[in-house]
Amino acid sequence: MSVESIASQDVAACAVIRGTFDRLGDKWSLLVIKLLSDGPLRFSVLKEATGGISQRMLTLTLRKLERDGLITRTAFPEVPPRVEYALSPLGRTLVEPVTALAEWAVVRYAEISENQQSFDRNARSATKAK
């Protein structure tokens, strides 16, 4: 395999990874995935549980996750209409790594915060010294 073909594969892989991380790294997607990990929920329950998301943003987030195949939307033929959202089999594969990342962030929060404060102090000191 040539260096050029390896490089082009790496670039393509990075684009796929970056696109996936961009979609999952927005403000609401991981929270919605976490909420749905306990089972199907209606739109109104998701809206209340997320605390602060607008109806439009929740709709966009759900559509994006459905488009990616991470959640399913089931509309029941009832009056009034009832719609439930659930993790798809693909979406369920995300729960473990997302939970592990969240646990890492909680455990490392103090260390990260300390590093940020130290960096900010050093940056201010360097600016004042000029």
For the chain, the structural domain boundaries read 3-129
Question: Cα separations (Å) of 35 from 7, 50, 71, 74, 119?
Answer: 39, 8, 12, 17, 35
Tell me how many degrees the CA angle 52-54-58 measures, rounded to the nearest 5. Answer: 105
Q: What is the per-residue pLDDT across 97-129, written as a single tens digit (0 to 9) for each? A: 989 998 999 999 999 999 999 999 998 877 776
In the predicted structure, residue 4 carries a pLDDT above the cut 80: no
pLDDT in tens, 60-93: 999 999 999 999 999 999 998 899 999 999 999 9
pTM above threshold 0.85: no
The 3-state DSSP class for residue 86 equals strand
Domain over 3-129 is classified CATH 1.10.10.10: yes
